[in-house]
Structure 1
Amino acid sequence: MSDVANANDASDIEKARAVMACVAAVNWAMRRMPRTVAAAGGDVLLFDAIGSTNTAARELVAAGRPVAVVAADAQTAGRGRLDHTWTSCPGESFTVSFVARASRAIATDERVNGWLQMIAGLAALDSIRAAVHDSGSGNLMLKWPNDLFCDGRKLGGILAEMVVPPAGVSQSADGDVTLVFGIGINLAVPADRLPTAQATSLQLHYDVSADNADALRDAIAAGIVAGLRARIAAFAADPHGQASRLLDETRRVCWTLGHEVEAHFTDGSTLRGEALALNADASLTIRTQDGDAHVVRTADVGVLA
């Protein structure tokens, strides 16, 4: 009996600690991300350090707790597509996850659901431009399917995940599903601290420093919250019509198109060729050297030249 009681006590202690951590994170967000809190209508958490903002957001959603944004000064076990890692240091990076809802019909419709991740990328570009007062220089672009580029180098990345509630947790009565968009951006990372020679940071192109990184993170996150909500609402109202508009918009900012690329698939295979076209379902067509056209829907695509 005592062993059971001790186990329950330990479980209760861990739950209490988790609740206290969330309360502290809510208070921290209200102090340091007030614009984001206002844009989201609350339910924003900011941690000093966390393993992964996406993991935290997924777990909170799965537990039925209200959450709109999870941010962290430092992330130690962040993930990108295909399990790539994304770590960050305080004052240098934007590591924020955004929780959104979409109808299950749209989220599972392969004719249009590829646009949900592209919507996150477009919302991020809009918000970054506004925050750094970029008047449309053309430096800020998207690399299909999930990277943010600046002047031809990687500025950040996006990981989109759909949350499936575990057994015993009720699902949405209206048929909606929950989406988590984890967005990482190099804000004030100096050149000698960038992870690769193909990376860049906003600091190297705009008036950004560690001194104003907090305010910049807040401005960008608030803009993404508003952009995601507006874009997803428009998409839900007319998914096929919006897909056509998104196709035109994304083509104009797609760094991948016209470049030599190499696609890496989850089974370890690769495909090299020219990124020929962005398609109506948000897939990418790659033309190999033999002249064959291949439609790629899920892959990590690197630009070679």
Structure 2
Amino acid sequence: MTDTRSALLDALDDGPVDGPALADRLGVSRAAVWKQVEGLREAGWGIESTDDGYRVADVPEFGGAAVAYGLDAPFEIEFHDSIGSTNERARELADEGREDVAVVADEQTAGRGRLDRGWRGPSGGIYTSLLLRPDVPPAHSPVYTLAAAVAVTRAAREAGVDARIKWPNDVLVSRAEPEVPLAAGGEPANENQSDSSDDLLVPAAGEARGGQKLCGILTEMEGEADRVAWLIVGIGINANVGAGVLPDGATSLLAERGEPVDRRTFTQRLLETFDELRSDPESILDAWREHAATLGQRVRVATPGGDVVGEAVDVEFPGALVVETDDGERERVTAGDCEHLRPI
């Protein structure tokens, strides 16, 4: 979208503006204003001509200008119909010295998850990478990952989807746990049951993650010992993605709602909530706790130093999980793969 067309939309954001006023504001002729209005109409914008001037009556469902229109957060939107990786593009922008840019795409063909796992984002999703330059030490960077998880979860719940967060950053939709058959006397029917407590634990609801995955988040950073140079928070949301193209264990807003979600509104709420949270990092933990699926659960966290098993009792700044083990000790886990467990 041209700068003139973007400026025209900005001018119309507050209500009807007549042609002469638009021409003066944009520094172009009235004929040029009309040409830009026609171009917007061809691009799917509902621009009406009223007695008071031009007004925006309808906004496209998705796209860079659509997300930027009415956005109450200081992010520049760079939109792509299809891109290999929004994180890769954000790193290019970081090298150019940019900041507060949201790279947004309808489709992502070569994304990456944790541990360099592949992440393909089919058309219909919301794939965005936020390029930030927070004035914080690198050790504080995990809190921005938590903020992104909260922002996605709040937007999903506003859209009618009961999303929760599994530590640290998976946004899930839980499924009802299957009933466990009971033997005589009310004990679980299991001929091979062992006395070992580890053998009496399985992933909750039969899934290591504790629910169907709605969104994944990957944060990357570059900096010195005492200061972050840039931070990229990559967010991949299964929005209007049909069940037939979702991987096993995943769900989408479409699948949960039974109808498409307004991706423009969802993306705006995500960016606005994230911006609100990052302005007060100390508030992020309370917001994360409010939507956590992990706290109060019995968990197994695979860490480089071995498995940590126990009850997840809290999260501490900048995002460490506190696990109370069976011997009463509290372990602070800063990184690892977390499973929700339940007794067999």
TM-score (normalizing by structure 2): 0.62
Q: 2:218 aligns with which of 114, 138, 159?
A: 159
Contact 2:64–2:78 (Cα < 8 Å) also in 1: no
List, as ranges, runs of 4+ consecutive aligned residues in structure 1 with deviation greater than 4 Å. Answer: none
Superposed displacement of residue 75, structure 1:
1.4
- Separation in 2, partners of 1:259, 1:46: 39
Q: C-alpha deviations, 1:217-243, integer Å up to 9, x for none? A: 2222222222222221233xxxxxx2x
Other-structure match for 2:12: none
Tell whether 2:280 aligns with 1:228. no
Matches within 5 A, 1:199-210: 199-209=250-260
SS at match of 1:102: coil
Taking a change above 3 Å as real, the CA distance of residues 129 and 33 of structure 1, as seen in their structure-2 partners, is farther
Question: Which 5+ residue runs of structure 1 have no aligned equivalent?
Answer: 1-26, 166-174, 236-241
Contact 2:100–2:132 (Cα < 8 Å) also in 1: no
What is the one-letter code of the residue matched to 1:150? V
Taking a change above 3 Å as real, the CA distance of residues 83 and 289 of structure 1, as seen in their structure-2 partners, is farther
Superposed displacement of residue 42, structure 1:
6.7
Taking a change above 3 Å as real, the CA distance of residues 178 and 35 of structure 1, as seen in their structure-2 partners, is farther
Superposed displacement of residue 86, structure 1:
1.4
Taking a change above 3 Å as real, the CA distance of residues 65 and 118 of structure 1, as seen in their structure-2 partners, is closer
- Separation in 1, partners of 2:279, 2:314: 27
Contact 2:99–2:131 (Cα < 8 Å) also in 1: no
Matches within 5 A, 1:280-299: 280-299=317-336
Question: Which 5+ residue runs of structure 2 have no aligned equivalent?
Answer: 1-42, 45-59, 175-210
Greater CA radius of gyration, 1 or 2? 2
Superposed displacement of residue 156, structure 1:
0.7
Contact 2:294–2:340 (Cα < 8 Å) also in 1: yes
Q: C-alpha deviations, 1:267-290, integer Å up to 9, x for none? A: 484433332322344211223445
Q: 2:169 aligns with which of 146, 160, 164?
A: 146
Q: 2:239 aligns with which of 184, 187, 192?
A: 187
Q: C-alpha deviations, 1:92-149, integer Å up to 9, x for none? A: x22111122311xx343x4x5432221111122223333x2x3xx8x22111111111
Taking a change above 3 Å as real, the CA distance of residues 278 and 36 of structure 1, as seen in their structure-2 partners, is same
Other-structure match for 2:150: 122
Tell whether 2:132 aligns with 1:95. no
Q: C-alpha deviations, 1:48-82, integer Å up to 9, x for none? A: 32221111101211122466111222212211222
Quote the sequence identity (%). Answer: 32
Contact 2:285–2:315 (Cα < 8 Å) also in 1: yes
TM-score (normalizing by structure 1): 0.69
Q: C-alpha deviations, 1:16-69, integer Å up to 9, x for none? A: xxxxxxxxxxx99x9723342232567322223222111110121112246611
Contact 2:82–2:105 (Cα < 8 Å) also in 1: yes
- Separation in 2, partners of 1:277, 1:65: 36
Bigger helix fraction: 1
Q: CA RMSD in A?
A: 3.0
Other-structure match for 1:259: 297
- Separation in 2, partners of 1:191, 1:260: 30
What is the one-letter code of the residue matched to 1:102? P
